[in-house]
Chain A
Amino acid sequence: MINFLADNAGKLDIVNVLIAVAIMLVIALVFGFLIMVVSKKFAVPVDEREEAVFGCLAGANCGGCGKAGCSAFSRSLVEGKANIDDCAVTDAESKKKIAEILGVDYSGGGEFIYVVSCGGGVNAKDKNDYLGENTCIRENMVAFGKKLCPDGCLGDGTCSSVCASNAITVVDGVAEIDRKICIKCGVCAKTCPKLLIQKIPADAVVFVKCSTRCRGKEVMDACSKGCIGCGICAKNCAQKAITMVDNLPVIDYEKCVGCGHCVNKCPRKVIHLVKENN
């Protein structure tokens, strides 16, 4: 029979095809059985809570929690090495479920959003050309970037390239976050070398769209959208929610009632309404 097969080998007929299939089938069965035996013998007990937690997570694999992915995060949750609120993507209801699975208290971390606190871009002057690699981190290494303002958005879009949901675009030289598709993982905030992307409460009405700590005259020379640190907003805030720190207004969102008075009073139009910035 072997001789018969050897004579016919290489010719395309149905017998040869069937033999080829049979060979593969036999090998497949042998190895399939082998894998089955080995996996039974060397089975690793998996904590079932781990899988249950993984099922509740949003599964974005964004890396915002600082772990390698959602499965690594669920493992550290079960081991007690991570906090549920490290994950920003999962909604509050699923987080409560995870807390139940883990048997811990969860009061809710509060909803929040991310905003870009710079309005410079094309409105801010350059101090020099930059011809290097187009990432903010590299550009920031060379004399803090090309902008005259040392705290302004460089516009190279490194935040946009790390964003897992493509929510960030650079418009007129400034990063803009599309909050409808932002999953709030916070990776951009950790990446930005100027720390321009701020986390504010989801019910915030106003935010300061500038981060410069320069004095008034320097800002006037550098940027038409910059805060000059005049303090008019702080003086006019009825709730005393605004304090001036390093020539910048800092809004205490606990006290802010959202009257919007500061938006109207600001001579440089630096304080913006959140809803007007998409």
Chain B
Amino acid sequence: MLEMIPVIIFTAMLSQNFILVQFLGICPFLGVSKNTDSAFGMGMAVTVVMVITTLITYPIYNYILVPLGFEYMEIIVFIFVIASLVQIIEIILKKTSKSLYEAMGIYLPLITTNCAVLGVAELVLTSNLVHNLLDACVYGLFGGLGFTLAIVLMSGMREKLDSARVPKPLEGFPITMILACFMAMAFGMF
């Protein structure tokens, strides 16, 4: 089923982009998109969490919960797994990259409640494109990259916006929302 991989990539990254089409993970999208560096860091952190999450939740669901008939526990198990993973990544990041850790600040723990991460864990189970673990990981990876793409594009535009002449009532947050709206419309074309 390797020929499905390009389809999965296209779907996860562009046509079903987590932020701009499915509206999952809006909080970091608006919160950490002030400058490109931290936006890229956030996107990468989410991507890593997404890949590892699918890598772990997909087998847990298919090899533990389904045979035992406990599918209804998926959400609580997934949340648990995601929370633990974020904790682990936070500890590792604190040691290895202090500046990235401080740049992300509160948003790193917030990945725990980032619905894009829980969203990917749920979507790989229901998507008719995903048939095995490899597919699921690819979906997670490119879902995360799509997230990064959206957040980095957004931060680039917000950096440009600083020097643009914006009507006074729209300064700051309102114009950001309008930007996000146009971006979502562009991604809706896929």
Contact = CB atoms under 8 A, between A and B. Distances in A.
A20 B81 contact: no
Contact of B68 (A6, A24, A27, A31): A6
A5 interface: yes
A6 B64 CA distance: 11
Nearest to B80: A27
Interface stretch (B4-12, B15-23, B71-79, B130-138): B71-79
A45 B169 CA distance: 48
Interface of A: 2, 5-10, 19-20, 23-24, 27-28, 31-32, 34-35, 38-39, 42-44
A7 B70 CA distance: 11
B92 A42 contact: yes
Interface stretch (B83-91, B113-121, B146-154, B177-185): B83-91
Contacts of A27: 60, 77, 80-81
A23 B72 CA distance: 12
Given A23-B64, A23-B77, A27-B81, A9 B69 contact: yes
B57 to A, nearest CB: 11
B-side interface size class: 20 to 34
B95 A6 contact: no
Given A38-B92, A39-B91, A10 B69 contact: yes
A34 B84 contact: yes
Contact of B84 (A8, A9, A23, A31): A31
A43 B96 CA distance: 10
Given A6-B68, A23-B64, A35 B76 contact: no
B28 to A, nearest CB: 19
- Which 8 A-B residue pairs are closest in the complex by CB-CB distance? A9-B69, A31-B84, A42-B95, A6-B69, A38-B88, A42-B91, A5-B68, A39-B91
16 contacts: A8-B69, A9-B68, A10-B72, A20-B73, A23-B64, A23-B65, A23-B70, A23-B73, A24-B73, A24-B80, A27-B80, A27-B81, A31-B81, A35-B91, A42-B95, A44-B94
Given A38-B88, A42-B94, A31 B80 contact: yes
B86 to A, nearest CB: 10
A34 B92 CA distance: 12
B67 interface: yes
Interface in B32-89: 60, 64-65, 67-70, 72-73, 76-77, 80-81, 84, 87-88
